[in-house]
């Protein structure tokens, strides 16, 4: 049984979206001669690293992460490698039209730029038609190896997907060597009353 981790490691100074809080992971106390245990303190924005957006991110009365059904976080994966000279990801760049799976994974190769300004300001993003197709096909969620499903400074795709209860996972990684084997996907957030959450994202080869 093979598992593939798609998650960025949470650590000090993990790259954050422009304007978001910096990640700080520090010792609150450390086991030594005077104390028997170690305790670390984490400060981070919920949209840093590999994370999930819930409808509450853009919809005033939308569901928070803690209100999403557990069954929606697990499903057969539709793996889509995108090869395009344009930053806009079109329907023709993917194989979602005939997909029977319920979690769409879009792989652009952009994760190699993670940690650079280019990663956040020049990211590939979903076209309007691809966003509409994901909604029409009733996908539970979409995961992508970029910082956003939208072009930098825009939020149209976020709003459309979340209004239709399609969760979004951004900043997945370690996707470059997936083969055409069937995978089950797991995108597991915290049980948190918030608009977003870090996730442990991984695949299991069927």
How many angstroms separate the CA atoms of 71 and 130, rounded? Answer: 24
Residue 109 confidence class, pLDDT cut points 50, 70, 90: very high
Specify the pLDDT at position 144: 98
| b/e burial code for range 19-35 (CB count within 10 A of at least 16 → b) | eeeebeeeeeeeeeeee
Domain ranges of the chain: 3-205
Judged against a pLDDT cut of 80, whether residue 47 lies above it is answered with: yes
Q: What is the mean pLDDT of the segment spanning 61-75?
A: 97
| b/e burial code for range 164-184 (CB count within 10 A of at least 16 → b) | ebbbbbbbbbbbeebeeeebb
Q: What is the mean pLDDT of the segment spanning 19-37?
A: 92
Task: For 165-189, write each residue's pLDDT tens digit.
Answer: 999 999 999 998 887 678 999 999 9
Instruction: Return phi, psi of residue 205, to 5°.
Output: -70, 125
Q: Structurally, what CATH architecture does the domain formed by 3-205 represent?
A: 3-Layer(bba) Sandwich (3.50)
Specify the pLDDT at position 176: 85
Task: For 116-143, write each residue's pLDDT tens digit.
Answer: 999 999 999 999 999 999 999 999 999 9
Share of the chain above pLDDT 90, in %: 87
Judged against a pLDDT cut of 70, whether residue 1 lies above it is answered with: no
Residue 69 confidence class, pLDDT cut points 50, 70, 90: very high
């Amino acid at each position: 049984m093979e598992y593939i981790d798609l998650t960025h490691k949470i650590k000090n100074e993990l790259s954050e979206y422009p304007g978001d809080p910096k990640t700080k992971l520090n010792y609150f106390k450390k086991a030594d001669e005077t104390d028997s245990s170690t305790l670390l303190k984490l400060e981070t924005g919920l949209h840093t690293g590999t994370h999930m957006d819930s409808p509450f991110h853009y919809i005033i009365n939308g569901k928070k992460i803690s209100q999403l059904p557990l069954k929606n976080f697990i499903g057969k994966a539709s793996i889509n490698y995108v090869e395009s000279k344009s930053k806009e990801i079109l329907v023709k760049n993917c194989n979602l039209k005939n997909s029977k799976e319920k979690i769409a994974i879009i792989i652009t190769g952009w994760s190699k730029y993670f940690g650079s300004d280019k990663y956040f300001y020049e990211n590939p993003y979903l076209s309007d038609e691809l966003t509409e197709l994901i909604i029409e096909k009733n996908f539970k969620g979409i995961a992508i190896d970029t910082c956003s499903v939208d072009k930098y400074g825009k939020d149209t795709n976020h709003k459309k997907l979340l209004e239709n209860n399609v969760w979004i996972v951004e900043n997945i990684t370690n996707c470059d060597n997936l083969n055409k084997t069937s995978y089950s996907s797991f995108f597991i957030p915290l049980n948190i009353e918030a608009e977003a959450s870090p996730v442990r994202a991984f695949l299991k080869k069927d």
